[in-house]
Amino acid sequence: MCVSSTPRIDSTADADGTLPIWRAAQVFRLATMGYAVGVQIVQHGHYDRVALSWVLIAVQSAWTTYLGVAYLFPRTRRTPLVVAEVVVTLLLVLSTLTVVPHHFYVHQQPLPTTFWVANAVVSVAILRGRIAGMVAGLGVGLVCLSALDQLGRWFFDATLPILGTVGLAIGASAQIARRAHTELQTAVRMQAATDERDRLAREVHDGVLQVLALVRRRGREVGGEGARLAELAGEQEDALRALLSRARAQPDDRSAVGTDLREAVRAALPPTATFAAPADPIELPRQQADELVAVVRAALHNTERHAGPGAASYVLLEDLGDEVVLTVRDDGPGIPPGRLDQARAQGRMGVADSIQGRVRALGGTAVLETGPGTGTEWEIHLAKGMR
Amino acid sequence: MSEAAAITVMVVDDHPMWRDGVSRDLADAGFEVVATADSVAAAGRRAAATVPDVVLMDMHLPDGTGVEATAAVREVSPRTHVLVLSASSERDDVLDAVKAGASGYLVKSASAEELIDAVTRTAHGQAVFTAGLAGLVLGEYRRTANAAPTDAAPGLPALTDRETEVLRLVAKGLSARQVATRLGISHRTVENHVQATLRKLHLGNRVELARYALEQGLD
């Protein structure tokens, strides 16, 4: 989904958060190149083909400069460059065979590359993560060892463990950087979406809801056709308000440990019911909240069936710290004394029993107060948390 | 309704259609609409100039909230009573407005008669409660009562048992008259208890503000 006003992390500058690692790696590339040149200057006297060795070191320097600069830029397409880097590195390693006498390069590092080979491993690791980095390290290491005819001594040589570890460590850090980058972007996007929803809610409130509320008020006074319009406007106003308040509550719901009983109950109420609750969330384990919502539904359903269409319903939630109190009341005709016992004696499991049963199963208490002319009132006490 | 003629009202709402509609209803019923305002700044200025008996307050204003506007009005004109008109989805704001000095709350979809009755009662210093507001206020007292005692300095004075009982019944949707019948006390006593719960809430808020000012070295 695209939100137009999203404050974005500049994706052209750093698509996946690894740019700082790429840049740091180029410093390492420069240092290893300096080392390789130093080795060439000190040792070229021992080589078979001195002129060729200078050509090779020049090629290596030029390639290093090109790569070093290319990787600094965020827009560089890295995959083909990394592939080329690995190929050139391996070719340079193998060129050792043509430059140096066999007796010299045994027990030596590959020339003219020396430890510079690690750069290719680093690039693969940043591009593809720790597994690819480690595989590249071991692969390049094996090529170095075989070029120097050292495969039989791999166990005594530091090349494999060092290059493998470099690939693993750099790859892991690149993955961490990528993940952090993704999480940051998600957070920014979520924030933007929330802001957008709030803005929408404000605008709708300022315009549409105001007009609906006005139509509802005026229409009722006009009467007749106007009253019908008022009723329709009222229904839409309630629906829109419910929608907006739910949309606003959503981000909190996701981060909460349990369920906010207020929101759960509010969502289950018909628009005609009056709801009262504290300003702060009442956190309950999901199962407890679900059961209480079911109790509210059952009580409202009962009101609807027995108290007639004119009866109003009232729901109150109270948070006593370690206990919640739920009251569901209606102002209908009430239940005459003995009527419940009579129903039970006839073997009919009334709504009363179902409410009592649910609450008892949760370890709470449910008390029904009713009488002719005083409506019905359920008061449910429940300790927070599961037992 | 001869006494209604003396009641002066200011309507604060940024929606012209709503402002005019409500103003007309009030004028028709004999109230004197001495000012209207469409922002927090204007509300403060005009309340200072006109000192109305009642301010009808919307919760959304272009330069701030109804909570800020309520505080501004009460600051420049302490004798003015603020009645919040709000939508049901803004419960938490309503509690803040009441803490800032509003003495009642009515849903915007209330009928003209309900509105006129509420303004009259507000002008006479009575608290206009809905079940929803009672639930919020009750929750606020419960919250401070539950807070650890080390949280020291109880910002809110405790309610008496009777006040809690009355507030609970109002939150359950009973009218003042029904509460009076159920508890066997007079209608007037019920009103007094309800008013007391708001007065203590304002008081608590003032204590909180003073403590905050002291901590911040602003006193």
The pLDDT value given to residue A368: 84
Q: Distance from A272 to chain B by nearest Cα, in Å?
A: 12
Q: Is B201 exposed, middle or buried (0-12, 13-18, 19+ CB in 10 A)?
A: buried
The pLDDT value given to residue A8: 43
Q: To the nearest whole number, what is the mean pLDDT of chain B?
A: 84
Mean pLDDT of B164-186: 91
Q: Which of A247-261, A269-283, B27-41, B142-156 has maximum average pLDDT?
A: B27-41
Confidence band, pLDDT 50/70/90 cuts, at residue B210: low
Token pair in block for residue A297: 């539904």
Residues on chain A touching B171 (C-beta within 8 angstroms)? 276, 316
Using CA atoms, how far apart are residues B168 and B182, in angstroms rounded to an integer?
Answer: 12
Mean pLDDT of B109-113: 82
Element (H, E) at A376: strand A376-383
Range from A138-152, A159-173, A253-267 carrying the lowest mean pLDDT: A253-267
Closest to A376 measured CA to CA, from A338, A341, A342, A327: A327
The pLDDT value given to residue B112: 84
Residue type, A145: L
Q: Which residues contact A27 (CB under 8 A, 6 or more apart)?
A: none
Q: What is the DSSP letter of A208?
A: I
- Beta strands A323-330; A313-319: pairing state: antiparallel
Task: For residue range B117-129, list pLDDT tens digits in order.
Answer: 999 999 998 888 8
The answer to pTM > 0.80 is no
Nearest CB to B112; choose among A213, A217, A234: A217
Sheet holding B81-86, edge to edge: B32-37, B8-12, B54-57, B81-86, B102-107
Model confidence at A3: pLDDT above 50: no
Model confidence at B88: pLDDT above 70: no
Task: For residue range A354-379, list pLDDT tens digits in order.
Answer: 788 788 888 889 888 877 777 888 99
Residue B168 and residue A316 in contact, taking contact as beta carbons nearer than 8 Å: yes
Residue A220 and residue A227 in contact, taking contact as beta carbons nearer than 8 Å: yes
Other beta carbons less than 10 A from residue A316's beta carbon = 26
The pLDDT value given to residue A65: 93
Domain boundaries, chain B: 3-128, 133-215
Task: Look up tokens 């008022």; give the residue.
Answer: A230
Residue A114 and residue A39 in contact, taking contact as beta carbons nearer than 8 Å: yes
Using CA atoms, how far apart are residues A162 and A64, in angstroms rounded to an integer?
Answer: 21
- Beta strands A365-370; A376-383: pairing state: antiparallel
Would you identify the CATH topology of the domain B3-128? Answer: Rossmann fold (3.40.50)
Task: For residue range A169-225, list pLDDT tens digits in order.
Answer: 999 999 999 999 888 888 888 888 877 777 777 677 667 777 887 888 788 878 788
- Asked if A244 reaches chain B (Cβ–Cβ under 8 Å), the answer is yes
Put simply, the chain A residues between 203 and 242 with a CB less than 8 A from any chain B CB are 205-207, 209-211, 213-214, 216-218, 220-221, 234, 237, 241-242
Q: Which residues contact A334 (CB under 8 A, 6 or more apart)?
A: A370, A371, A372, A373, A374, A375, A376
The pLDDT value given to residue B217: 62
Task: For residue range A331-344, list pLDDT tens digits in order.
Answer: 887 777 676 666 66
To probe the interface with A, which of B109, B111, B151, B167 has the most A CB atoms within 10 Å? Answer: B109
**Backbone phi, psi, residue A276, to 5°:** -130, 135
Residue type, B65: T
Using CA atoms, how far apart are residues A353 and A340, in angstroms rounded to an integer?
Answer: 9
Residue type, A237: E
Q: Is A43 exposed, middle or buried (0-12, 13-18, 19+ CB in 10 A)?
A: middle
Nearest CB to A279; choose among B14, B134, B140: B140
- A18-29 burial, b at 16+ Cβ within 10 Å, e below that, comes to bbebbeebbebb
Task: For residue range A285-304, list pLDDT tens digits in order.
Answer: 888 888 899 889 888 888 87
- Is the CB of B173 less than 8 angstroms away from the CB of A276? yes
Confidence band, pLDDT 50/70/90 cuts, at residue A252: very low
- Is the CB of A312 less than 8 angstroms away from the CB of B136? no
The 3-state secondary structure of chain B, one letter per residue: CCHHHHCEEEEECCCHHHHHHHHHHHHHCCCEEEEEECCHHHHHHHHHHHCCCEEEECCEECCEEHHHHHHHHHHHCCCCEEEEEECHHHHHHHHHHHHCCEEEEEECCCCHHHHHHHHHHHHCCCCECCHHHHHHHHHHHHHHHHCCHHHCCCCCCCCCHHHHHHHHHHHCCCCHHHHHHHHCCCHHHHHHHHHHHHHHHHHHHHHHHHHHHHHCCCC
How many residues are there in chain A? 387
Residue of B nearest to A273 (CA): B173
Q: To the nearest whole number, what is the mean pLDDT of chain A?
A: 81
Q: Which of A12-21, A213-222, A255-264, B38-47 has maximum average pLDDT?
A: B38-47
Task: Give residue A73's Cα distance to chain centre.
Answer: 29
- Is the CB of B143 less than 8 angstroms away from the CB of A319? yes
Q: Which residues contact A348 (CB under 8 A, 6 or more apart)?
A: none
The pLDDT value given to residue A345: 60
Task: Look up tokens 């008109």; give the residue.
Answer: B85
**Percent of chain B residues past pLDDT 70, beyond the cut:** 84
Name beta bridge partners: B102: B82
CA separation, residue A103 to residues A91, A193, A289 (Å): 21, 68, 80
Domains of chain A as residue ranges with CATH: 1-255 (no CATH), 258-387 (3.30.565.10)
Mean pLDDT of A248-270: 69
Closest to B71 measured CA to CA, from B102, B45, B34, B94: B102
Q: Distance from B184 to chain A by nearest Cα, in Å?
A: 15
Confidence band, pLDDT 50/70/90 cuts, at residue B152: very low
Model confidence at A13: pLDDT above 60: no
CATH of B133-215, one of 3.40.50.300, 1.10.10.10, 3.30.70.3040, 1.25.40.10: 1.10.10.10
- Asked if B142 reaches chain A (Cβ–Cβ under 8 Å), the answer is yes
- Is the CB of B142 less than 8 angstroms away from the CB of A319? yes
Closest to B152 measured CA to CA, from B97, B101, B207: B207
